[in-house]
Amino acid sequence: MKIKNKSALIISILIPILVGSLSSLFSGNMSYSTFNKPSFSPPSFIFPIVWTILYILMGISSYIIYSSDDKNKGKALVTYAIQLFFNFFWSIIFFGSSQYLLAFIWLIILIILIVIMIYQFYHIEPLAAYLQIPYLLWCIFAAYLNFMIYKLN
């Protein structure tokens, strides 16, 4: 990956980090530790670490697409923005509103959007798509946790 514009790379990384931070801020004070959870739920300190890594990978991936000369990059970046919108509101729905079933459905839509985004990114630059795979896998795991928390609470 050749960095053409360092400022664009930094902004691309900061956008998902800012989205995640604002979402967390608007989600309220409900703690993950207060839920009845499935037995193999990770400890709460894992989540900010994983999300920070995922947001950095998302930013690098979006920068790769942004920097490409492909005629479809605009459409792919719109899909990226839409999935970021869904990402932003999931925590607010889950933690802020305690709407666990709605949050699960919202997360399923997010996962579908991530798959579409990966597909679009792959056709522009495969590396950008590969960098999104950990995000997809984490969201699938999050959907399982979300559903189990809905069932157990």
Residue 139 lies in a domain: yes
Q: Is residue 70 situated within a structural domain?
A: yes
Judge whether 41 lies within some domain.
yes
Is residue 82 in some structural domain? yes
Alpha-carbon distance values, 104 to 23, 46, 71, 101 (Å): 17, 20, 34, 5
Whether 101 is covered by a domain: the verdict is yes
- On whether residue 37 sits in a domain, the answer given is yes
| 120-131 pLDDT, tens digit each | 999 999 999 999
pLDDT of 37 over the 90 cut: no
* Interval 66-87 mean pLDDT: 98
Q: Residue 20, SS3? A: helix
Q: What is the pTM of this model?
A: 0.94
User: How many whole angstroms separate alpha carbon 101 and alpha carbon 4?
Assistant: 43
Q: How far apart are CA 53 and CA 50, in angstroms?
A: 5
Task: Please tell me the total number of residues recorded for the chain in this structure.
Answer: 153
- Structural domain containing residue 137: 6-152
Query: Over 90: is that where the pLDDT of 32 sits?
Result: no
> Angle at the Cα of 48 (from 46 to 51), degrees rounded to 5?
105
- The chain-wide mean pLDDT, for the chain, equals 94
CATH code of the domain in which 36 resides: 1.20.1260.100
Task: Please check whether residue 1 lies inside any domain of the structure.
Answer: no
Residue 63 is assigned to a structural domain of this protein: yes
**Longest alpha-carbon distance in the chain:** 49
Domain count, the chain: 1
Angle at which helix 73-91 crosses helix 100-124, to 10 degrees, equals 160
